[in-house]
């Protein structure tokens, strides 16, 4: 596929042209941070960011989503019978997604598309999504994508990738979907040698800048119950306050809870993000809670990411190295440190 170059001054207009075929999500400055928002006429995209505060997972997997509904109306013949909530899945594109967050979708897909089950909502939305990545010229000190199978310009999980060349973007289609997205954009010229060379240079530069690592090479060979019963968990979990910041910000955390809500005659079955940090997550109807203690919940998060997931799916760890939990954990629990404890145990 041929590379195209877009001048930054024409960039947003070029993107807007693709709105005829796609709903587009772009990073937008939201006070002190960036988040992805739908590109509307009034949106002011801002591609000058490290990464968005919230991962783009909600674009495929909303925090709260109505999945079934019915009317609890005595007159209604379908009374009390839940039906799938009507939805459509128009083509959409996440423009500016970082390679780690795209990698995260690939990690999460293992959960939502198994040999037995296929999550209709997640899958349909994922399949209608084009991931137009933006390579990271300036990875953060908390980024460790390179140690978990990604990289600041890792192309494998993207449909297209953008290289920020100062005054212009070089856009490269990587899949058919990605190529189609670029072709729907306005303007742009085919890339010159100089731009292609510059883009290549960025990759090597950026990879050097990722200095942080997630140590997990020895976790795979460890016996699971041994690690589970390791003596360090309680101490490591001391400062944890069991909030959901890490899990809600994490692009690879997928757990959910299902709630029924009745409002008048309307019955809704809603799926909400849940967090293994909450005691309610595992509270059983009997009152028994297998993860009654804080350290047990804490342990679950790391065991799941670094031991159960890799063992089950043989797909690497359940972490794409974005560093959000490291940066925003209110008490500074650092997955790199915990992985280190597990690795050295």
Which spans of this chain sit near other proteins (rule: CB under 8 A)? 30-33, 35, 50, 53-54, 62-66, 138, 140-142, 235, 238-239, 241-245, 247-249, 257, 259, 261, 263-264, 266, 268, 270, 272, 275, 278-280, 326-328, 330-334, 336-337
Q: To the nearest whole angstrom, how small is the minimum distance from the Cβ of residue 96 to ligand SF4? A: 17
Q: To the nearest whole angstrom, how small is the minimum distance from the Cβ of residue 174 to ligand SF4? A: 22
Return the number of the residue (225 or 286) whose C-beta is nearest other proteins.
Answer: 286
Give the Å distances, CA to CA, from 243 to 143, 169, 199, 247, 279. 22, 39, 41, 9, 10
Binding partner selected for residue 111 from ligand SF4, other proteins, none, CB under the kind-specific 5 to 8 Å limit = none
Give 236-265 as a DSSP string: HTTT----SHHHHH-TT---EEEEEEEETT
Dihedral over alpha carbons 269, 272, 277, 283 (to 10 degrees): 0
Binding partner selected for residue 278 from ligand SF4, other proteins, none, CB under the kind-specific 5 to 8 Å limit = other proteins
Q: To the nearest whole angstrom, how small is the minimum distance from the Cβ of residue 304 to ligand SF4? A: 10
Binding partner selected for residue 251 from ligand SF4, other proteins, none, CB under the kind-specific 5 to 8 Å limit = ligand SF4
**Judging by beta carbons within 10 Å of its beta carbon (0-12, 13-18, 19+), is residue 83 exposed, middle or buried?**
exposed
Alpha-carbon gap, residue 192 to 5, rounded angstroms: 8
Q: Indicate the DSSP class of residue 113.
A: B
Return the number of the residue (225 or 263) whose C-beta is nearest other proteins.
Answer: 263
Binding partner selected for residue 44 from ligand SF4, other proteins, none, CB under the kind-specific 5 to 8 Å limit = none
Return the number of the residue (172 or 291) whose C-beta is nearest other proteins.
Answer: 291
Return the number of the residue (158 or 335) whose C-beta is nearest ligand SF4.
Answer: 335
Binding partner selected for residue 322 from ligand SF4, other proteins, none, CB under the kind-specific 5 to 8 Å limit = ligand SF4
Strand order in the sheet with 160-164: 33-38, 23-30, 92-97, 129-134, 160-164, 168-173, 4-7, 189-190
Dihedral over alpha carbons 188, 189, 191, 194 (to 10 degrees): -100
Alpha-carbon gap, residue 25 to 255, rounded angstroms: 24
Q: To the nearest whole angstrom, how small is the minimum distance from the Cβ of residue 188 to other proteins? A: 29
Binding partner selected for residue 252 from ligand SF4, other proteins, none, CB under the kind-specific 5 to 8 Å limit = ligand SF4
Give the Å distances, CA to CA, from 303 to 11, 175, 225, 292. 43, 34, 11, 16
Binding partner selected for residue 255 from other proteins, ligand SF4, none, CB under the kind-specific 5 to 8 Å limit = none
Alpha-carbon gap, residue 120 to 8, rounded angstroms: 38
Binding partner selected for residue 174 from ligand SF4, other proteins, none, CB under the kind-specific 5 to 8 Å limit = none
Q: To the nearest whole angstrom, how small is the minimum distance from the Cβ of residue 183 to other proteins? A: 29
CB atoms within 10 A of CB 103: 29
Return the number of the residue (104 or 136) whose C-beta is nearest ligand SF4.
Answer: 104
At 89, list the tokens. 């899945």
Q: To the nearest whole angstrom, how small is the minimum distance from the Cβ of residue 301 to other proteins? A: 14
Half-sphere exposure of 123 (CA within 13 A, CB side): 9
Q: To the nearest whole angstrom, how small is the minimum distance from the Cβ of residue 300 to ligand SF4? A: 13
Q: Which residues bind ligand SF4 (CB under 6 A)?
A: 104, 249-252, 305, 319-325, 335
């Amino acid at each position: 596929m041929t590379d195209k170059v877009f001048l930054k001054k024409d960039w947003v207009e070029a993107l807007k042209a693709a709105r005829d075929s796609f709903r587009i999500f772009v990073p937008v400055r939201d006070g002190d941070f960036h988040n992805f928002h739908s590109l509307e006429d009034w949106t002011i995209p801002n591609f000058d960011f490290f990464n968005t505060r919230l991962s783009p997972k909600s674009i495929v997997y909303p925090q709260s989503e109505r999945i079934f509904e019915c009317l609890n109306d005595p007159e209604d013949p379908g009374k009390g019978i839940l039906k799938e909530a009507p939805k459509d899945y128009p083509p959409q594109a996440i423009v500016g997604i970082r390679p780690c967050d795209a990698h995260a979708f690939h990690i999460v897909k293992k959960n939502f598309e198994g040999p037995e089950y296929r999550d209709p909502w997640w899958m349909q939305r994922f399949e209608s999504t084009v991931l137009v990545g933006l390579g990271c010229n300036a990875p953060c000190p908390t980024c460790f994508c390179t140690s978990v199978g990604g990289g600041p310009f890792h192309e494998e999980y993207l449909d297209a990738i953008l290289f920020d060349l100062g005054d212009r973007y070089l856009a490269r289609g990587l899949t058919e979907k990605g190529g189609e997205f670029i072709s729907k954009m306005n303007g742009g010229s085919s890339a010159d040698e100089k731009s292609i060379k510059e883009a290549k240079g960025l990759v090597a530069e950026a990879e050097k800048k990722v200095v942080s690592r997630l140590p997990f090479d020895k976790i795979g060979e460890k016996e699971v119950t041994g690690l589970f019963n390791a003596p360090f968990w309680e101490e490591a979990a001391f400062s944890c306050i069991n909030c959901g910041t890490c899990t809600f910000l994490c692009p690879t955390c997928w757990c959910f809870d299902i709630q029924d809500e009745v409002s008048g005659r309307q019955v809704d079955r809603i799926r909400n993000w849940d967090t293994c940090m909450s005691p309610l997550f595992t509270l059983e109807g009997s009152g028994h809670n297998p993860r009654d203690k804080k350290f047990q919940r804490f342990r679950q998060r790391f065991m799941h990411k670094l031991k159960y997931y890799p063992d089950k799916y043989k797909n690497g760890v359940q972490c794409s190295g974005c560093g959000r939990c490291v940066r925003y954990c209110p008490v500074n629990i650092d997955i790199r440190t915990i992985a280190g404890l597990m690795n050295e145990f």
